[in-house]
Amino acid sequence: MSDFTPRVFSGIQPSGGLTLGNYLGAMKRFVDMQNAGTHETIYCMVDQHAITVWQNPEDLRKNTRELAAGFIASGIDPEKSILFNQSQVAEHAQLGWVFNCVARMGWMKRMTQWKDKAGKNSENASLGLFGYPALMAADILIYHATHVPVGEDQKQHLELTRDIAMKFNNDFGTDFFPITEPVIEGAATRVMSLRDGSKKMSKSDPSDMSRINLTDTADDIAKKIRKAKTDPEPLPDTLDGLADRPEARNLINIYAALNDQSPDAVVAEFAGQQFGAFKPALADLAVAKMSPISGEMARLMQDQAEIDRILKRGADRAREIAAPILEKTYDLVGMVR
Ligand code: TYM
């Protein structure tokens, strides 16, 4: 893999309602990778993935701009990183088609996210939802990205991306596509619901109390943390003591990720204390870290022309990398150009 430029790609769906899970599992880590300066960083609003399930057109437009504002408010600098909207760079869908012809039905049917999302009604799910992971592989490989930061829930899709790259390379006798490394690191790769420690924090959970939204007010954030499900025990001395206490473990992980600490250090700091003491400390920390982001998002949303300008420039920069990679792919496949 040494021949490939160190390059990070990741994407988020503009399907509305960014959560603390998206922020800690993805956006905050995208910012850290941008600022580390060790890789080129490319971040994308994947609107073509969003439409694999129904999106109201007006909402999709608003959510795409709001996600762009969320990226920038979280610390993505459109000068340092390439920030753009997927449908503005046609090469994603074009390479996606080639990968539809590389990926096997059997591979796709094993995707747990497909099984979860399509559920019992899979006959009625869109073809796009089934092919979703092949387009995701195209998002990554159209830039020859070497590293992809994501939350735990995307792990299987990244394994499929590697399988697609390997099969393409093998079928066409080349080493053209890198075998991308997933980057699933830190305390918050799986932020859980505040109401049920066995469920992922998600924008689709029917209970708004289960999640912190990036647009929540300081009062909302504090209230949700105060009411978060816990148990009556005090915090233990070490992390091992939280093995069977998923809700408590989740709050510790959130605190650690927000404060750039390890979960061990947080447990050591609060050892022996009750949630009556820990929760207010967590609420203060969450408000201090999240409120400036929601404030900045709201400010940026007032100038949509500026957001659109940033996205257009990001798309132009993205295309400069993507276009030659698509051309070479077509050439390898034997398409006359
Ligand atoms: P999406 O839009 O569902 O989520 C965006 C990112 O947020 C992470 N995430 C979480 N992390 C920790 N705890 C949670 N509760 C939580 N909820 C969400 C996700 O893991 C993800 O990193 N398929 C992707 C979008 C995508 C993509 C790509 C990602 C399309 N193409 C190429 C990487 C590379 C998705 O649906 O993410």
Is the confidence at residue 1, as pLDDT, over 80?
Answer: no
Q: Which atom of ligand 1 is nearest to the CA of 13?
A: 2
12 CB near ligand 1 (under 6 Å): yes
pLDDT score recorded for residue 78: 98
Catalytic residue positions, numbered: 117, 200, 203
Mean pLDDT of 226-239: 95
Q: Where are the alpha helices (DSSP H) in the chain?
A: 20-22, 28-36, 47-50, 57-74, 91-100, 105-109, 112-118, 127-141, 155-171, 218-226, 246-258, 263-270, 275-301, 304-333
> What mean pLDDT value characterizes the chain?
97
pLDDT score recorded for residue 120: 87
At position 199, the amino acid (one-letter code) is K
Q: Which residue from 22, 129, 181, 203 has its CB within 8 A of the most atoms of ligand 1, so it is best to mutate?
A: 22
49 CB near ligand 1 (under 6 Å): yes
Measured distance CA(162)–CA(147) in Å, rounded: 11
Residue nearest to atom 7 of ligand 1 (CA): 22
Nearest to 85 by CA among 96, 69, 74, 100: 69
**Which CATH architecture group holds 7-189+303-333?**
3-Layer(aba) Sandwich (3.40)
Q: Which residue from 153, 161, 258 has its CB within 8 A of the most atoms of ligand 1, so it is best to mutate?
A: 153
What distance in angstroms lies between residue 29's CA and the mean position of ligand 1's atoms? Answer: 12
Q: What's the pLDDT band for 101 if we cut at 50, 70, 90? A: very high
26 CB near ligand 1 (under 6 Å): yes
At position 326, the amino acid (one-letter code) is L
pLDDT score recorded for residue 321: 98
148 CB near ligand 1 (under 6 Å): yes
150 CB near ligand 1 (under 6 Å): yes
Are 7-189+303-333 and 208-299 the same fold in CATH?
no
Identify the CATH homologous superfamily for domain 208-299.
Answer: Tyrosyl-Transfer RNA Synthetase (1.10.240.10)
160 CB near ligand 1 (under 6 Å): no
Residue nearest to atom 4 of ligand 1 (CA): 12
User: What tens digit of pLDDT does each residue of 252-286 get?
Assistant: 999 999 999 999 999 999 999 999 999 999 999 99
Are the CB atoms for 279 and 228 separated by under 8 Å? yes
User: What tens digit of pLDDT does each residue of 163-219 get?
Assistant: 999 999 999 999 999 999 999 999 999 999 999 999 999 999 999 999 999 999 999
Q: Report which secondary-structure segment, H or E, holds 149.
A: strand 147-149
User: What tens digit of pLDDT does each residue of 113-160 get?
Assistant: 999 999 888 999 999 999 999 999 999 999 999 999 999 999 999 999
Q: Which atom of ligand 1 is nearest to the CA of 15?
A: 2
Q: For the chain, what are the domain ranges?
A: 7-189+303-333, 208-299
Q: Which residue from 28, 150, 160, 161 has its CB within 8 A of the most atoms of ligand 1, so it is best to mutate?
A: 150
User: What tens digit of pLDDT does each residue of 278-299 get?
Assistant: 999 999 999 999 999 999 999 9
Nearest to 45 by CA among 94, 84, 95: 84
Beta strands (DSSP E) in 161-248 are: 181-183
Q: What's the pLDDT band for 2 if we cut at 50, 70, 90? A: low
Measured distance CA(164)–CA(145) in Å, rounded: 14
